[in-house]
A and B are shown apart, each in its own frame.
Chain A
Amino acid sequence: MNIVVCISSVPDTTSKINFTENNTKFDSNGIQFVINPNDEFGLTKAMVLKEALAGTVKVITVGDATTEPIIRKTLAIGADSAVRINKAATDSYTTALEIANYLKENPADLIIAGKESLDYNGGAVPAMIAEMLDLPFVNACNGLEIVGTNAKISREIDGGKENLSSSLPLVIGGQKGLVEESALRIPNMRGIMQARSKPLEVIEATTTEDLTTSISFEKPAEKGACKLVDADNVAELVRLLHNEAKVI
């Protein structure tokens, strides 16, 4: 069972989001980057599957050298090897194409990505990889079991879940539920030491043609001050919601 986990690095969830160069670029100054939370679930799931079924876990990222600490972290958590495609990710399509091109040469049985990255929230890369490789794909995957060459999968849908089955190879967009949150693995001392000698291959990017371009960013309008209503006067709140905000 050869598993590839696609990892994106994103600003830590408590980060204050700011922009530079006339609001055209994300300001990474002082930002702590972390493994995209959806990918953390995928990485732990990959480790669990590897331990149960034997095989390898390789992580892949499209990013410049600044993403290496995150890659080392995934190796410390337990991935066997890593590939970095040397390109700052700017567009879902080219990111997916870089990964798909690599996977055409180095096929995997299972490709785990996250349902979306918490920075650009594109939710696009995994489905694109699947299309480029002509593989089945399940998004918002919150349960996965491998039985021989088949997968039993559940995905989140509004108000519940849908159960599916598929042959392998398969691409999933994982999320919470793939493993219990309490089971998420974090690096330990031994892992960190081992990670130093695990292979991290850097490949030059080949794609150039972005299908979309980010022009600029703005922050959502600031809220005005909160109107406080006395706890003894709930009727006033209802009146405001009805007459002023007109939402009930």
Chain B
Amino acid sequence: MSVLVYTESWDGSFRKSTFEAASYASETAKLLGTEVVAISLGEVSNDELTKLGNYGVSKVVSCCTIEKGDSQAATNAIAKTANNASILIFSNTNTAKMIAPRLSAKLKAGIVSNVITLSESASPLKVKRQAFSSKAIELATVNTATAILAIAPNSFKLIETGGNCTIEEDLTNEKGAITIEGKETASGKISISEAEIVVSAGRGLKGPENWGMIEELAELLGAATACSKPVSDIGWRPHGEHVGQTGKAVAADLYFAIGISGAIQHLAGINSSKVIVAINTDPEAPFFKAADYGIVGDAFEVVPKLIEEIKQLRA
């Protein structure tokens, strides 16, 4: 018996959400009195794989020839390694959402996604999850012997154990019907779903030419930039930045809403953020009801001052 964690990498590196999943797996393994085995797909260096030890993984199986975007191959590879596991942990990324439910069907193991808490007992396994676009929290239980949990990014903190892990190479060569042709990404961008701070702006900014100050503020804070839906619909910002019920979900430690009214569909995507700051000219803007801190004022005056003040704080 063990706990298996899927450790997702991009371009050979793990992300924060990967280490969150490992930390979660390690806490779950304590509950079961067992150890954590990780599975990594694709080319990842030994140096990088070794980092998992620090988050409680005792052994990592590295399937370097498997492409994670090929969910058939990924599922088969993980199922093979999982034969001994009673709980499988994923971070709820777009890629994991192709693999984890497939495994659930293959292994007939109940899956709970968007998990935000640890289970209090190993059997029955009961966890809380986000539902109704963060408008509710659901308590769910798994009825099968093997369980799969996909945890919501940024809802579980990293726990460093200072431990080490062994590396086992698995050269199984699986291939499904999918071929990965390549990707198009803006380099150096911080991912919205994983970012600790998100600086988001809406139609109140009047036009795409005014995003310079938003980017400057984000860069200063090491934050991701985001926007409301109409802003990406009109093409002021890329589609990938749109947050809300029909866009990305944000669970940041700090969320700046600048010139965003605070419509219910926007709030649905961001209200699991811990601290929310609203900046809006309209004192009646609904965002002030959802925010922890607010400034009633013009973004074009407030944001440059904010940048100056944060620079001073940092100096």
Contacts and interface: CB of A to CB of B under 8 A. Distances in A.
B208 interface: no
Given A122-B113, A211-B111, A157 B221 contact: no
Contacts of A60: none
B102 A215 contact: no
Interface stretch (A1-9, A70-78, A137-145, A186-194): A137-145
Which of A134, A162, A211, A237 has the largest count of B CB atoms less than 10 A from its CB?
A211
A217 B139 contact: yes
Interface stretch (B21-29, B34-42, B157-165, B284-292): B284-292
Contacts of B50: none
Given A123-B101, A137-B98, A159-B185, A227 B293 contact: yes
Interface string A217-248: 11110011011111100110110111001011
State the majority secondary structure of interface residues on B: mixed
Contact of B113 (A17, A96, A121): A121
A136 interface: yes
B75 A19 contact: no
A63 interface: no
B309 A235 contact: yes
A128 B102 contact: yes
A123 B137 CA distance: 16
A11 B291 CA distance: 25
Contact of B101 (A124, A166, A217, A218): A124
21 contacts: A92-B101, A120-B138, A126-B101, A127-B98, A131-B105, A138-B178, A156-B94, A157-B95, A160-B184, A160-B185, A162-B180, A165-B178, A211-B109, A211-B111, A212-B141, A213-B140, A219-B136, A226-B288, A227-B294, A234-B302, A241-B275
Interface of B: 10, 69-72, 75, 92-95, 97-106, 108-114, 126, 130-144, 176-186, 189, 191-194, 197, 221, 233, 239-240, 242, 245-247, 253-254, 264-265, 268, 271-272, 274-278, 288-298, 301-302, 305-306, 308-310, 313
